[in-house]
Each structure stands twice: as structure tokens, then as C-alpha cells.
Chain A
Amino acid sequence: MTVAKDKISIEGLTGDAAIAHALKQCDLDVLAAYPITPQTIIVEDFQKFAADGEVQTAVIPVESEHSAMSACVGASATGARVATASASAGLALMWEILYCAASMRMPIVFTVANRALSAPINIHNDHSDGMGMRDSGFVQLYCQSSQEAYDTTIMAFKIAEDHDILLPVMVGIDGFILSHNVERVEMLPTDVVTDFLGIREPVQPLHPDKPITMGPLALTDYYFEFKEQQDRAIQEVPKIYKKVEKEFEKLTGRSYGMIEEYKTDDAEIIILAMSTMGGTAKAVADVLREKGEKVGVIRLKMFRPFPVEEICKAIGDAKAVMIFEKAMSFGAVTHPLAMEIRSALYEAENRPMVLDFVVGLGGRDVPPTTFVEGYEKTKKYLEKGEAPLYETLGVRK
């Protein structure tokens, strides 16, 4: 049953604050983090909740992100519910431990205010940090609004801690664009969140009564089996994600799906983007539709595991898919998101033309005109029947 309206509290919250409020309600045992812009507010707000006694969480202001993720793994190993937050260079510094967290099957929730990587130093948004951890084994969910950030953070624990999954989950919001933007957020009563999540039931925690060793040497004999199991676990995510979201929808009436489709049914050209670009893309689609153009939008929320079936179904018989992505994989065939889409579509009966537009690196603004520019180009490429593998838009050349 949906939670009664008078039980819902409504506040104007930034993306960071929305995540902090969600974390407050998730009954965390441990949070370890190191300050980095534009994530800082998540931990500052949470630290305030902890100091005010609103949460019973041990907050550890560690000396680096490497230590933050390490402390999270240590805490999670004992069966604790654990979260951390970071971005950019901080996330990159965690890289070694990201693989340990996933492989040791620690259901840590890792909120990220996505930000460009050095050099040169840049504090603004792109998805280089998220794509850098692409193969680490984390589930990756990218959000479009503060409300979605709040909702997804709560759901992330239920997905991560599910016994069929037991994997860490990254919840991404666009740095500054969402992390520092105030939006209306509806918040559930804490007891409802508590009932929804329950208490984490660890499968194999460290406990003196039944001592085990985690993460020791597994060479040619068993290493591969660990990876096999990890792969099987992440493939289970769509099933559990749908189940968790259905339950969440019962409480709130809100659900997002692994992808969000917008006017894709009869679309000839589809815009595909992640996070806040999804909002701009939908506005652009509306305007182009008014002009009689058959445009639709797919906003990808779940990047890992990659929802192949859903994407292919949503693209359907479209003539072209224009991907707008905020990361580069230097020297690759195309850039990360387009590579996934191209692979996913390889088996499709009617393979559409795939356009890869790299935009918005280092926080460069991606206004509606950038989408229209890509759209005009795509129409020309369709006429010609050929297109470049990728191109950059909105940059001095």
C-alpha cells in the first residue's frame, strides 16, 4: 500500500543532501569517507546526523579514499551495513579496493557525484570516473533527479544485500548539475524504510565463533571460479532490481526501470543518454516532435549490468540511435557507452545506425542545441548511409 501523503515529508534538497537523507534512514553501521568536491556535502550532512544522535553510525573521517574503501570492506566483512561516497580522483584512488569489494562480495553502497578526472584538474561533471570503474564488478546506477538519487540509494542496499547478488552498488549523480541543485524530494517515514530494508543478513561474516579467511591466495586452482561466481551474481541483478523496484513502487508509486523510455514507440531516431542529460534530451525530443520529427529518448539508468534486452527492445525498428556520452575511452573503437550499444545491437535484426557523440567533458555545458546539432548531423548521415564511428560536439577543434 502506498504510504499516506501526510506521512511523507517534502523538502527542497540538493542531490547530495537527498543521498545523505536516504543514508540516514538506511540504518548504517559504518560510513568511512574522505572529503572531495562535489561529494563533500553527503558526508558533512551525514556527520551532522551522526553527531546529533539521529543515526547510530560509526563515521570514520579517514586519511584517503583508499583507506575509505578499505575501511568499508573491513566493516562489511563483519556483516555491517556500510556506505561511502566519493568522486573523480578519489574514486580513482579507490580503484584497487573496488575490485576487492566486488570480489569479496561486500554489499557496500557507494554514492558518487560524478566528476572529471585529472589532468588538468577539473571539479566539474563528466562520467570518466564511473567509466573508469566499469569493469570492477560494481553494479552501476545513474540518477537523473534528487528524488531518484534518494530512492535509488535506499533501493541500492536491498539490491546489494540480496543473497542472490551480494555485490557493491554505485549510485551516481552528476557532479554540481545534480549534486548541488535543489529539487523537491519526497521522503518516506524512517520506519517504512527500516521495514523495507530490514536488517542485513550476512551470509558469511567474520565471526570469532566460526573463523573464516577472506581473500587469501587463489591461484590457478580457484581464482577463476571466484570470477565465475561473481559473473553469475551480477547477471542476477536485473531480476532482483525489478523485484526491489516493484516493492518500492508499492510504497511510493515511483519506479524508474533499468532504462527510461520516452516516446520511443514510433521513433525513427532515438537519443540515448545517461543521468541529467536525460532531462535535456526529453525536452529536445518534445520540441522536435512539435516540428513533426519522430524522436524518442532512452535514458539509461543501469550501466552495470548492461540491460541488453531492454535496450534492444526499446530501440526496436528505429533508423538511428544517437548516443550522447560524457566519457572517452582513448583509442577505442568508439567510447564506452556506444561500445556497449553497438555490441548489444549486433544480433538485432534491423541494426540501426549508431552515432556516438562525446559531449560535456569537464563540465562543458550540454545545452539543447548540442542535441539538435547531433540530430541534424544524424539526418545527414542517414541520407548518406554512412557516419563516422564517433565525434566530439561542443569543443574547440
Chain B
Amino acid sequence: MTESQIHFARQFLREEALPSPFCPGCGNGIVTNSFLKAVNDLGHSDLRKFAFVSGIGCGAWIPSPHFKADTLHTTHGRAVAFATGLKAANPELEVVVISGDGDLAAIGGNHLIHAARRNMDLTVICANNWIYGMTGGQVGPTTFTGDRTTTSPYGNPERPFDLARLVAASGANFVARWTTAHPIPAARAIRTALERRGFSFIEMLSQCPTAYGRRTKSGDAVDMIKWMKSLPVRKKDEPLGHRVPTKDLLDLGVFADRDEPSFLQSMEKMKEQI
């Protein structure tokens, strides 16, 4: 096979770990692809300059064990905290957290907002499938109001988080939301996130046909991708406002794009003053 025939992603993947364990139709493959496209577009031929951290859940399996790279596969919810330590100890590394909404926004929600507040030099990619997929489809903090899951059989009475707005409001330098129906804009946003100092957050809406699709009767992977494709894209500089996400009211695009001093920059500045 000539080099051009080999998929660009393969140079970054552990061949022996393939095929991935993801269900047929899972969005994690597209999330992987968008991320690796961004890495490839930045001119990397391997993942030597990166370190990956993941927590628990299906999204956490994207880097571990599939990426040919240093990876910490940690405990549920704590990926961002582990990554904070990793980056502080070795700032040369590009530290990336890839995990799911349950991991990053439920049990690990506190770490997420504080890393954003601190403007910690990390890139966090959240595969948001609106449910706890790995444990079989329980209601979570991103599940839409009214969704029927295994632990909300008559509909979810609670409101979901708008993760992109949450992290933007918490102080991150760069925040974008795309979906698995938008792999190219997503790759572009991930590229910006990797280049940006401070805290970058990419929310990737991603279909889980097995747990979310079945439980909430949202159809199969194709139906869900079609739905995500129809979501509105924000205009540049449109005010963020406040809204509770619903299936039609999930806007895509960039939610924060600034260059405020990052944690490492602030630390450097403080050292100079002492």
C-alpha cells in the first residue's frame, strides 16, 4: 500500500488495540478522527509532544488504549485534576483530556469549572452523548428534560447543563461546540484549541445509539446525525445569553475566543515579581 492510501489517523493509533470496542454507530470514532485530523493538520507525525488523560466511561476509551502516546487512564471524574498536575510538572507537553459528559460534567464537574477558572493550560474534549452510556443508559446532568432513561423511566424532571456556556462563563480562553455531523469544523476548532494557551474546551455532541438512541427513542446513528446536522450555528459575536438546552435549542460554534493570561503565564509573571 502506498503511503497516500494509508489513512492519516493510523500513524497515531496502536494497531494492536484496533478495532475499537465502541458499539456500531457510536460517535467516538468521528471524535477520534476529528482530533487526529487536527493533530495531523498541525504537522505532527506522531504524538510524542502530547500526553493524554482520561477518566471513566466510553469517551475515556478514545485515547486509552488507542492512541500511540503517553496516557494516564484515571478514576471517574478526576481526569482534569490529574491533567492539571501533569501539565504543571511538565509544561513542555501538550496535555489533552478526552472524556465524556458523565465523567467531565457530572462527577468531575467541579474540576472542569475550576480548571477553566484557573485558565489551566489544557485542552479538554468532551464527547457529550447526554447519558451514562457505559453503565447502560442512566440519566445524567446533560440529559434533556423529559428524556426517558433507565433511571428516569417517566422522563427526566431535571434541566441539563449547557456545557459550552458553563465553561465559557467559568473563564476558559477557547470554547467551541460541534457535533459528529460536523467533523471538519470540529477538527478546525480542535486545532485552535491545541494552539491556544490557557484552557480550551471542545464539546463534541456525539450519538450513542445503544444507550441514548434506544432509551430515548431518538433513533439510530443516522437519525441522530441528521438531527445534529440540523442544529443552528451561532453567528460570530452573537451574545451568549442564557438558555436551557433542548433538542432544537443547542447552538453550535464558538462560545469563547480570547487570550487571557493562562495559569502558566500567570505563574511566570508572579515569579518575575518575587
Give the docked Cα–Cα distance between A35 and B152 (Å): 13
Among B132, B138, B151, B154: residue with most chain A CB under 10 A:
B151
A254 an interface residue at 8 Å Cβ cutoff?
Answer: no
Give the docked Cα–Cα distance between A48 and B137 (Å): 13
Which of chain B's residues 154-195 have a Cβ closer than 8 Å to chain A? 154
Residue of A35, A37, A120 touching B151 (CB-CB under 8 A): A35
* Bitwise interface map of A from 38 to 75 toward B, beta carbon under 8 Å scored 1, else 0: 00100110011001100000010101110000000000
Q: Report the minimum CB–CB distance from A199 to chain B (whole Å).
A: 27
Nearest residue (CB) in B for A92 is B75
With A63-B107, A63-B109 as contacts: A51 and B154 at CB distance below 8 Å: yes
Give the docked Cα–Cα distance between A121 and B134 (Å): 14
Residue of B75, B77, B107, B135 touching A37 (CB-CB under 8 A): B135
B136 an interface residue at 8 Å Cβ cutoff?
Answer: yes
Which of chain B's residues 94-133 have a Cβ closer than 8 Å to chain A? 106-107, 109, 132
Which residues of B lie under 8 Å from residue A369 when comparing CB positions?
none
Residue of A35, A51, A119, A121 touching B153 (CB-CB under 8 A): A51
Evaluate contact between B151 and A36: CB separation under 8 angstroms. no
B209 an interface residue at 8 Å Cβ cutoff?
Answer: no
A34 an interface residue at 8 Å Cβ cutoff?
Answer: yes
Evaluate contact between B106 and A63: CB separation under 8 angstroms. yes
A118 an interface residue at 8 Å Cβ cutoff?
Answer: yes
B71 an interface residue at 8 Å Cβ cutoff?
Answer: no
Which of chain A's residues 220-247 have a Cβ closer than 8 Å to chain B? none
A284 an interface residue at 8 Å Cβ cutoff?
Answer: no
Evaluate contact between B152 and A47: CB separation under 8 angstroms. yes
Evaluate contact between B56 and A121: CB separation under 8 angstroms. yes
B234 an interface residue at 8 Å Cβ cutoff?
Answer: no
Evaluate contact between B106 and A47: CB separation under 8 angstroms. no
Evaluate contact between B56 and A44: CB separation under 8 angstroms. no
B59 an interface residue at 8 Å Cβ cutoff?
Answer: no
Evaluate contact between B75 and A118: CB separation under 8 angstroms. yes
Give the docked Cα–Cα distance between A89 and B107 (Å): 12
Which residues of A lie under 8 Å from residue B75 when comparing CB positions?
89, 118-119
Evaluate contact between B150 and A44: CB separation under 8 angstroms. yes
Q: Report the minimum CB–CB distance from B68 to chain A (whole Å).
A: 19
Residue of B73, B136, B141, B150 touching A63 (CB-CB under 8 A): B141
Give the docked Cα–Cα distance between A90 and B132 (Å): 15
Give the docked Cα–Cα distance between A64 and B76 (Å): 9
Which residues of A lie under 8 Å from residue B140 when comparing CB positions?
61
Which of chain A's residues 103-121 have a Cβ closer than 8 Å to chain B? 118-121
B204 an interface residue at 8 Å Cβ cutoff?
Answer: no
B139 an interface residue at 8 Å Cβ cutoff?
Answer: yes
Give the docked Cα–Cα distance between A43 and B137 (Å): 12
Which residues of A lie under 8 Å from residue B152 when comparing CB positions?
47, 51, 61
Give the docked Cα–Cα distance between A66 and B106 (Å): 12
Evaluate contact between A35 and B132: CB separation under 8 angstroms. yes
Q: Report the minimum CB–CB distance from A70 to chain B (whole Å).
A: 13
Evaluate contact between B76 and A35: CB separation under 8 angstroms. no
Evaluate contact between A121 and B73: CB separation under 8 angstroms. yes
Give the docked Cα–Cα distance between A44 and B132 (Å): 12
Evaluate contact between A43 and B141: CB separation under 8 angstroms. no
Nearest residue (CB) in B for A51 is B153
Evaluate contact between B154 and A40: CB separation under 8 angstroms. no
Which residues of A lie under 8 Å from residue B77 when comparing CB positions?
64
Which residues of B lie under 8 Å from residue A35 when comparing CB positions?
132, 135-136, 138, 151
Q: Report the minimum CB–CB distance from B29 to chain A (whole Å).
A: 21
Evaluate contact between B106 and A44: CB separation under 8 angstroms. no
Evaluate contact between B153 and A34: CB separation under 8 angstroms. no
Which residues of A lie under 8 Å from residue B135 when comparing CB positions?
35-37, 40
Nearest residue (CB) in B for A34 is B107
Give the docked Cα–Cα distance between A89 and B140 (Å): 18
Evaluate contact between A40 and B136: CB separation under 8 angstroms. yes
Which residues of B lie under 8 Å from residue A59 when comparing CB positions?
151
Q: Report the minimum CB–CB distance from A85 to chain B (whole Å).
A: 12
Which residues of B lie under 8 Å from residue A51 when comparing CB positions?
152-154
Evaluate contact between A64 and B106: CB separation under 8 angstroms. yes
Which residues of A lie under 8 Å from residue B151 when comparing CB positions?
35, 43-44, 47, 59, 61
* Interfacial residues, chain A to chain B (CB-CB below 8 A): 34-37, 40, 43-44, 47-48, 51-52, 59, 61, 63-65, 89-90, 93, 118-121
Known: A40-B136, A48-B153. 16 other contacts (CB 8 A): A34-B107, A35-B132, A35-B136, A35-B138, A36-B135, A44-B150, A47-B151, A52-B153, A63-B106, A63-B109, A89-B56, A93-B107, A118-B74, A118-B75, A119-B73, A120-B73
* Interfacial residues, chain B to chain A (CB-CB below 8 A): 56, 73-77, 106-107, 109, 132, 134-136, 138-141, 150-154
Q: List 12 A-B contacts (CB under 8 A).
A: A35-B151, A37-B134, A40-B136, A43-B138, A44-B138, A51-B153, A61-B152, A64-B106, A89-B76, A93-B76, A119-B73, A119-B74
